[in-house]
Amino acid sequence: MAEPGNTSATPSKPAPWNDPAVRSVVFQVVAVAAVAYFFYVIFDNTFTNMEKRGITTGFAFLDNPSGFGILMSLVEYDESHTYGRTFLVGLLNTVLVSFLGIIVATALGFTIGVARLSSNWIISKLAAVYIEVLRNIPLLLQIFFWYFAVLQVLPGPRNSFSWNEAVFLSNRGLFTPAPVFESGSSLIFGALVVAVVTVIAVANWARKRQETTGQQFHTVYVSIGILLGLPFLAFLVSGMPVSIDYPALKGFNFRGGIRIIPELMALLWALSFYTAAFIAEIVRAGILAVEHGQSEAAHALGLRPAPTLKLVVIPQALRVIIPPLTSQYLNLAKNSSLATAIGYPDLVAVFMGTTLNQTGQAVEIVAMTMAVYLTISLSISTLMNWYNKRKALVER
Amino acid sequence: MSETQANVQSAPDVSTLAVEIKDMHKWYGEFHVLKDINLEVKQGERIVICGPSGSGKSTLIRCINRLEEHQQGQIMVQGIELTDDLKKIDEIRREVGMCFQHFNLFPHLTVLENCTLALIWVRKMPKVQAEEIAMNYLERVKIPDQAKKFPGQLSGGQQQRVAIARSLCMSPKIMLFDEPTSALDPEMIKEVLDVMVELAHEGMTMLCVTHEMGFAKMVADRVIFMDVRQIVEENEPNEFFNNPQHDRTKLFLSQILDH
Amino acid sequence: MTNFREIADMPPPANTVGVVGWVRKNLISTPMNALFTFIGLYLVYLLLPPLLDWTVFSANFAGEDQTACTGTGACWVFIKARITLFMYGFYPSEEYWRMNLVFALLAATFLPQFFDAFPYKKVFGIFSVTGFPIIAYILISGGMLGLEHVETDRWGGLSLTLILSFVGIVAALPIGVVLALGRRSSMPVIRTMCIVFIELWRGVPLISVLFMASVMLPLFLPEGVTFNKLARAMIGIVMFQSAYMAEVIRGGLQAIPKGQYEAASALGLSYWKSMSFIVLPQAMKLVIPGIVNTFIALFKDTTLVLIIGLFDILGSVQSAIVDPVWRGVSTEGYVFAAMCFWVFCFSMSRYSMALERKLHTGHKR
Ligand SMILES: Nc1ncnc2c1ncn2[C@@H]1O[C@H](COP(=O)(O)OP(=O)(O)OP(=O)(O)O)[C@@H](O)[C@H]1O
Ligand SMILES: [Mg+2]
């Protein structure tokens, strides 16, 4: 240490118990030990308890037949399928309601957020009332309201509300006509694929043409035209191979068509209406975050209000909107687990509820369920961080 | 390049006034913010507007391209009267460029995209040609090398020069400046003023709100002094600075020249 | 050029101000705007009269039981008849005074916090998170000081909702502070552990946490040690809430300029001293609006406990609705519960917004 000529350059070492580096290592080792001991105790207790209660461990139960039916399933399922299958059914139902909820909530939320900023006093105030009412009432209460106070008290199938004898609404759910694709309808799907490819090509061509000639092209309208037109053309050419299956009253319930169970409807409405209130506030804040000077500068350059929105305001507002928006999407997905309360068979209801009750394998089931939600959350927030880094405004 | 020439080709008719304001009044709600404004600006004339804070300078100049609307009187720009008519507003905004105190560049677009945005979407110009014009103007404000950067990466002076280039790209016949240098550090003021002086020497019609009296003396044809939300005095720079007529003007000049 | 004459302020043209000006500007400035006004008014016309009719004009207020509800409107008699259930759950009626006393005490300790001029804010604040919970527990649970013991499964209604959210917020706060400091710690092991803890709870739905607390907690504990249902729910809520709290507080810590940290260590303060005397007080001030917002979220989330069999206000309403003594009163029950939540959450959110505005202006100066 004390080499001649070098003494002043090396600070003298403090006593180990005063050295921050040593302290920090000791502290961390102690913390790890404490946490490890904590988990050891928990595992030990859990194994003892489970042994005593005769609960089996491991994931073998996933291959056992479940023996219970599920109200709604996107894949083939009945009592003879395994618990592994119930997991899948629950997961798909969770994904379904989250996906639909996100679409409806986004559309509604953006509309209401923009309405809140409207220069029209009545529209703005109506939007404010919507936001303040919906977001200050617990979601579970709203789910109950839609399910027990609205859908359950609808008349039975025999007296259901009907629209053109095609769509029926009763306490058994919403029945709508379903398209039945017969042989030959593959042409329609082919046409759809072709349409998508064409639209991409058209968009590319329009951009190129703009760059060389300056002419704008109504890409949006043309795209919609192609997307609807081509499959319709294929439908006509292939001899209209699609028939419609109308729901019809048979006995005490409807047969045929598509059935949307009231549990799904109630959950979907409540989730979307509730989340839309939050999204509306996010959208409003995002648009307000774009300084007024930005649209003034655009106006001064001769841009009309619509292109100003499209080219200047929205791109900047989106940077502010998207991060909290994704966390709302995550909230919606997590909140879909309230399905349990009204019996919509989502992951938590069928797996953490029924399956756990039947098998008693709490540890495995809770871990699997939580892992699903964690995976969704973590992957989306990773994606978000990446997006934020990429889109962050370059500052000095 | 050919396009720039093409835009200038409809050279201003010297007989029409560039800006003509008659008995104009404006209110913000109940607040009478511009009172009885009368102003005539000829083609190619350079006007400097000065006056104490809150005297309505910004409001006046923003009325000229209809960022604010007036409630009484008449404003004519290049012979077009400003009304609610959206077509007329479009036409006028094509004739008038504006630079703001805080630049108001679009932070999500590069410098070049800032300049080409309006050319592409308002003038419906091919991108290549728009970029050519934009580069041309960026060269004139001496920052062609920054074209690919984002506004946030530039200094204040550079940003303001980009803002000027962005307006010039639309080949306006009149340029409005609202305190273009007052948000800048002293060493950056000069680089912006140099660009403005050059512009003035090229014969651009300019209305400029500024407290840079050196600039006023050098290029202004007329100086307009505003106070209490009215035009108090207007005169050519020599007279204005050496022989102010009104007590308010004297007081204002003594205050800003002291510094 | 000396003909300048100062003009006195004049009133604006009549059609730009007053009622006419307001209507022109806000309702019919363009044809599109006028159309929107029409649509808006039509919506109001569609919704408001039936709503008022149901809640007030055709509603039944007087009476004792179902037979009193004859109108087409709401049957508020139901709420009147069941109000003690909604407020106190199955708490014995002769002991209601204990609950009342607790909530009066709660109001007395918290209300002064809203008035800037009140001199003992700090004392009251500290009491509300230390002394008050103990007194409240003794009063509500009883079993000592001559108070009759009341089992937790008899607690319920709005008072249970308040108890759950109060415990949730007060217990989550210190844990949240520790987690937030840990997440910003320079020690990698500590930081990792805190991040894992926080992200784990934030990544899963509360309902799964409650399930976990109710089915797994008994497995974790050694033989003989048991928690009742309420305590298990509380543990779940506190874990969950502290993760959210940690993130709010971390936001505050991040907003404190680096100079403050440096100044504190320049003064020779140790880590804990500089945190507790310099950094945390400033950060906590910044995050109060955020804490209020998490509190609102927690308050709404407490309804989830009904899924694991506790009777909070929504749970009691639900049980009263399915009770065959009353029929077709579900809407009334939900509206009543919604009103309770709404009044509370709305005023809290206004409070947090006002605080935010105050903080904002305070910073500008
Ligand atoms: N949008 C507005 N609403 C209401 N009052 C306004 C608005 N904008 C400006 N004012 C008021 O109008 C008056 C004139 O404002 P203006 O910005 O034109 O002044 P100015 O001469 O440009 O001052 P400065 O030198 O500070 O920029 C001021 O008293 C200001 O407070
Ligand atoms: Mg100004």
CATH number at residue A350: 1.10.3720.10
Give the separation between CA C305 and CA C289, rounded to whole angstroms. 26
Give the separation between CA B231 and CA B50, rounded to whole angstroms. 10
Q: Which residues of B86-115 are buried (b: 16+ CB within 10 A; e: fewer)?
A: eeebeebbbbbbbbbbbbbbbbbbbbbbbb
What mean pLDDT do residues C69-82 have?
Answer: 82
Could you tell me if C132 and C160 lie in one domain?
no
Q: At what angle do helices C76-88 and C96-110 cross, to 10 degrees?
A: 80
Could you tell me if C215 and C258 lie in one domain?
yes
DSSP 8-state code for residue A349: I
Could you tell me if C127 and C260 lie in one domain?
no
Could you tell me if A184 and A155 lie in one domain?
no
Identify the H or E element spanning B242. helix B237-242
Nearest CB to A149; choose among C33, C219, C331: C331
Q: Where are the alpha helices (DSSP H) in B141-229?
A: 156-169, 186-201, 213-219
**Residue C11 forms part of a structural domain:** no
**Does the pLDDT at position C122 exceed 60?**
yes
**Tokens found for residue C210:** 């409650």
**Residue A133 forms part of a structural domain:** yes
**Does the pLDDT at position B76 exceed 80?**
yes
Strand order in the sheet with B72-77: B31-41, B19-28, B72-77, B80-81
pLDDT for B34:
93
Give the separation between CA A161 and CA A147, rounded to whole angstroms. 17
pLDDT for A257:
78
Q: Where are the alpha helices (DSSP H) in A14-82?
A: 20-53
Q: Out of B82-96, C140-154, C226-240, which region has the weakest mean confidence (pLDDT)?
A: C140-154
pLDDT for B222:
93
* Overall domain count for chain C: 2
Give the separation between CA B138 and CA B118, rounded to whole angstroms. 15
Q: Which residues of chain C does B231 touch, with a Cβ-Cβ cutoff of 8 Å?
A: 4
Q: Which residues of chain A does B120 touch, with a Cβ-Cβ cutoff of 8 Å?
A: 210, 214
**Does the pLDDT at position B5 exceed 60?**
no
**Which domain does C124 fall in, by range?**
94-149
Contact C304 A338 (CB under 8 A): yes
Flag whether residue C30 sits within 8 Å of chain B, measured between CB atoms. no
Could you tell me if C144 and C167 lie in one domain?
no
Q: What is the mean pLDDT of chain B?
A: 88
Could you tell me if A274 and A371 lie in one domain?
yes
DSSP 8-state code for residue B184: S
Integer angstrom CA distances of residue A286 from A279, A289, A294, A322, C349 = 10, 5, 14, 9, 19
**Residue A13 forms part of a structural domain:** no
Q: Tell me how close the Cα of C53 comes to any Cα of chain A, in angstroms.
A: 18
Nearest CA in chain A to C307: A341
**Which domain does A222 fall in, by range?**
178-245
Backbone angles phi, psi at B128, to 5 degrees: -60, -45
**Does the pLDDT at position A5 exceed 80?**
no
Could you tell me if C304 and C332 lie in one domain?
yes
**Does the pLDDT at position A2 exceed 70?**
no
**Residue C325 forms part of a structural domain:** yes
Could you tell me if A384 and A286 lie in one domain?
yes
Q: Tell me how close the Cα of A103 comes to any Cα of chain B, in angstroms.
A: 27
Place of tokens 């609950």: C99
3-state secondary structure of C179: helix
**Tokens found for residue B186:** 């002293």
Q: How far is the centre of ligand 2, averaged over its atoms, from the C-alpha of B180 (Å)?
A: 10
Q: Which atom of ligand 1 is nearest to the CA of B51?
A: 21
**Does the pLDDT at position A6 exceed 70?**
no
Give the separation between CA C191 and CA B35, rounded to whole angstroms. 64
**Does the pLDDT at position C186 exceed 80?**
yes
Task: Quickly state the pLDDT bin for A12 (edges 50, 70, 90).
Answer: low
Answer positive or negative: Cα dihedral of A91, A92, A95, A96.
Answer: negative
What is the number of other CB atoms lying within 10 angstroms of the CB of residue B81? 12
C64 touches C77 (CB < 8 A): yes
Give the separation between CA B77 and CA B96, rounded to whole angstroms. 9
**Does the pLDDT at position C2 exceed 60?**
no
B16 touches B41 (CB < 8 A): no
Q: Which atom of ligand 1 is nearest to the CA of B56?
A: 18
DSSP-assigned beta bridge partners for residue A250: A253
**Residue A330 forms part of a structural domain:** yes
Could you tell me if A228 and A322 lie in one domain?
no
Could you tell me if A369 and A268 lie in one domain?
yes
Contact B105 A300 (CB under 8 A): no
Tell if the pTM clears 0.90, that is, is over it. no
Give the separation between CA B192 and CA B199, rounded to whole angstroms. 11
- Per DSSP bridges, beta strands A253-255 and A248-250 are antiparallel
Q: Which residues of chain C does B35 touch, with a Cβ-Cβ cutoff of 8 Å?
A: 7, 9-10
Contact A337 C36 (CB under 8 A): no
Tens digit of each residue's pLDDT (9 = 90 or more) over C304-362? 999 888 888 999 998 888 888 888 888 888 999 999 999 999 998 998 888 888 877 65
Tens digit of each residue's pLDDT (9 = 90 or more) over B20-38? 999 999 999 889 999 999 9
| Nearest Cα to Cα of residue A173 among A159, A158, A152 | A152
Answer positive or negative: Cα dihedral of C252, C258, C260, C261.
Answer: positive
Residues 6+ apart with CB under 8 A from C282: C252, C256, C260
Q: Out of A291-295, C50-54, C356-360, which region has the weakest mean confidence (pLDDT)?
A: C356-360
Flag whether residue C13 sits within 8 Å of chain B, measured between CB atoms. yes
3-state secondary structure of B23: strand
Neighbours of chain A (3+ CB pairs under 8 A): B, C
| CA nearest ligand 1 atom 4, residue | B28
| Nearest Cα to Cα of residue C159 among C238, C91, C77 | C91
Contact A210 B120 (CB under 8 A): yes
Percent of chain B with pLDDT over 70: 94
Contact B152 A393 (CB under 8 A): yes
B226 touches B235 (CB < 8 A): no
* Overall domain count for chain A: 2
**Does the pLDDT at position A16 exceed 80?**
no
**Residue A217 forms part of a structural domain:** yes
Nearest CA in chain A to C347: A136
Give the separation between CA B125 and CA B117, rounded to whole angstroms. 10
**Does the pLDDT at position C365 exceed 70?**
no
Could you tell me if A148 and A271 lie in one domain?
yes
**Tokens found for residue A242:** 């699609």
**Residue A356 forms part of a structural domain:** yes
Flag whether residue B29 sits within 8 Å of chain A, measured between CB atoms. no
Integer angstrom CA distances of residue A231 from A179, A227, A236, B115, C125 = 14, 7, 9, 42, 68
pLDDT for C337:
92
Give the binding-site residues of ligand 1, using a 6 Å CB cut-off: B 28, 31, 33, 53-59
| CA nearest ligand 1 atom 30, residue | B54
**Does the pLDDT at position A58 exceed 50?**
yes
Give the separation between CA A47 and CA B125, rounded to whole angstroms. 75
**Residue A119 forms part of a structural domain:** yes
| Nearest Cα to Cα of residue C92 among C26, C144, C155, C172 | C155
- Per DSSP bridges, beta strands B222-227 and B46-50 are parallel
Tens digit of each residue's pLDDT (9 = 90 or more) over A175-205? 888 888 777 778 888 888 999 999 999 988 8
Q: Could you say which of A193, A220, A245 is where a domain stops?
A: A245
**Residue C332 forms part of a structural domain:** yes
pLDDT for A11:
63
A210, A301, A318, best to mutate vs chain B, most B CBs in 10 Å: A301
Q: Where are the alpha helices (DSSP H) in chain C?
A: 18-26, 31-52, 76-88, 96-110, 121-129, 131-141, 157-183, 188-203, 206-215, 217-220, 229-255, 258-266, 271-274, 280-301, 313-322, 330-364
Could you tell me if C105 and C200 lie in one domain?
no
Q: What is the mean pLDDT of chain A?
A: 86
**Residue C13 forms part of a structural domain:** no
**Does the pLDDT at position B160 exceed 90?**
yes
pLDDT for A145:
93
* Substitution site in B27, B31, B211 for ligand 1 pocket (most atoms within 8 Å of beta carbon): B31
**Tokens found for residue A368:** 């699997």
Q: How far is the centre of ligand 1, averaged over its atoms, from the C-alpha of B56 (Å)?
A: 6
What mean pLDDT do residues A132-139 have?
Answer: 94
**Residue A23 forms part of a structural domain:** no
Proximal ligand: closest to the CA of C9:
1
Residues 6+ apart with CB under 8 A from B10: none
Q: Which residues of chain B does C6 touch, with a Cβ-Cβ cutoff of 8 Å?
A: 228, 230
Task: Quickly state the pLDDT bin for B162 (edges 50, 70, 90).
Answer: very high
Nearest CA in chain A to B63: A300
Could you tell me if A362 and A383 lie in one domain?
yes
Q: Which residues of chain B does A311 touch, with a Cβ-Cβ cutoff of 8 Å?
A: 117, 121
CATH of the domain at C265: 1.10.3720.10
Q: Out of A23-27, C52-56, C139-143, which region has the weakest mean confidence (pLDDT)?
A: C139-143
**Residue C66 forms part of a structural domain:** no
What mean pLDDT do residues A211-235 have?
Answer: 83
Task: Quickly state the pLDDT bin for C22 (edges 50, 70, 90).
Answer: confident
**Residue A250 forms part of a structural domain:** no
Give the separation between CA C210 and CA C219, rounded to whole angstroms. 14
Could you tell me if A145 and A278 lie in one domain?
yes
Task: Quickly state the pLDDT bin for C176 (edges 50, 70, 90).
Answer: very high
pLDDT for C145:
76
| Nearest Cα to Cα of residue C241 among C276, C206, C195, C290 | C206
Give the separation between CA C240 and CA B229, rounded to whole angstroms. 59
Could you tell me if C134 and C198 lie in one domain?
no
Q: Tell me how close the Cα of B242 comes to any Cα of chain A, in angstroms.
A: 36
Tens digit of each residue's pLDDT (9 = 90 or more) over A88-120? 999 999 999 999 999 999 999 999 999 999 888
Could you tell me if A302 and A386 lie in one domain?
yes
DSSP-assigned beta bridge partners for residue B25: B72
Nearest CB to A302; choose among B100, B118, B154: B118
**Strands (DSSP E) along A187-227, which ranges?**
none
Classify the phi-psi angles of C266: left when phi > 0, otherwise alpha if psi is within -120 to 50, otherwise beta: alpha
**Residue C255 forms part of a structural domain:** yes
What is the number of other CB atoms lying within 10 angstroms of the CB of residue A42? 16
Could you tell me if C104 and C137 lie in one domain?
yes
pLDDT for B258:
67
Q: How far is the centre of ligand 1, averaged over its atoms, from the C-alpha of B206 (Å)?
A: 21
Integer angstrom CA distances of residue B233 from B26, B213, B230, B247, C8 = 19, 16, 9, 10, 18
Give the separation between CA B141 and CA B193, rounded to whole angstroms. 11
Q: Tell me how close the Cα of B29 comes to any Cα of chain C, in angstroms.
A: 7
Could you tell me if C134 and C177 lie in one domain?
no
Q: How far is the centre of ligand 1, averaged over its atoms, from the C-alpha of B229 (Å)?
A: 9
**Does the pLDDT at position B7 exceed 50?**
no
Task: Quickly state the pLDDT bin for A59 (edges 50, 70, 90).
Answer: confident
**Tokens found for residue B105:** 């560049």
